[in-house]
């Protein structure tokens, strides 16, 4: 399912806020992969197909959207960039 299809079931304001966050994430993480997880009701961003590599997660809900960060993945990526 596409992110737009997944988000279409939410309130229009939640849809708009989530779409705006997606634009920001795509701009700042151009090489990341966006994955919709219907069972978890989330959209994840990572550089592989593994949950352990998730960077950011969007959790839309009835009243808004939550943005979650995977601290370990962000720190590891920063270490790789400064070491290279």
Give residue-wise pLDDT tens across range 32-75: 889 999 999 999 998 887 777 788 899 999 999 999 887 565 54
pLDDT number for residue 41? 96
Exposed/middle/buried for 43, CB within 10 Å: 0-12, 13-18, 19+? buried
Alpha-carbon span 47 to 64, nearest angstrom = 26
pTM, entire model? 0.79
Structure-token pair, residue 19: 């779409």
Contact (Cβ atoms closer than 8 angstroms) between residue 21 and residue 28? no
pLDDT number for residue 44? 92
Alpha-carbon span 47 to 25, nearest angstrom = 13
């Amino acid at each position: 399912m596409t992110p737009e299809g997944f988000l279409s079931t939410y309130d229009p304001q939640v849809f708009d806020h989530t779409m705006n966050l997606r634009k920001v994430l795509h701009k700042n993480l151009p090489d990341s992969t966006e994955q919709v997880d219907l069972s978890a009701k989330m959209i994840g961003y990572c550089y592989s197909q593994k949950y352990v590599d998730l960077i950011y997660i969007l959790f839309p809900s009835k009243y808004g959207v939550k943005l979650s960060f995977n601290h370990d993945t962000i720190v590891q990526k920063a270490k790789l960039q400064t070491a290279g």
